[in-house]
Amino acid sequence: MSEVELISAGTWVEVTQVVLPAGHRPETVPADTRQTDLILRVRGFLTEPARPGDQATVRTLADRLLTGLLTDPTPRFSHDFGQPVPELLEVGSEIRRELRGLLAGDGKGGQP
């Protein structure tokens, strides 16, 4: 079995921290939710070398230091903004056309 690779300080990683264990969730939370830990996932730059599964401290983009279990040594953003909205795709060029016309002084908008 190979040894898990040491990740260098300064690497962008994700750490996980249990904020509230399952037994400490408030009664106002639905029963099925109360049975799970409340987890915090934070991305930041490692302050010291660590391996996945180690406790590690990261410095976030907001310059906060947070410690948790190093769970993702190569986190990625997997969200998007959905399908393009055709009307919004045309807005930028339409506004530029109108601004050119105003700057040219004709008051009607410029050429496309």
Residue 108 in any domain: the answer is no
What stretch of H or E contains 97?
Answer: helix 86-104
Identify the pLDDT of residue 86. Answer: 83
Domain of 20 in residue numbering reads as 12-72
**pLDDT tens-digit map of 44-87:** 999 999 999 999 999 999 999 999 999 999 998 887 888 888 88
Look up residue 18 and give its two tokens: 């249990």
pTM here?
A: 0.65
Residue 7 in any domain: the answer is no
Residue 87 in any domain: the answer is no
User: How many domains, in total, are found in the chain?
Assistant: 1
Residue 67 in any domain: the answer is yes
Residue 40: phi and psi, rounded to 5, are -115, 130
Look up residue 43 and give its two tokens: 């991305």
In angstroms, the first-to-last Cα distance of the chain is: 64
Residue indicated by tokens 């040491």: 6
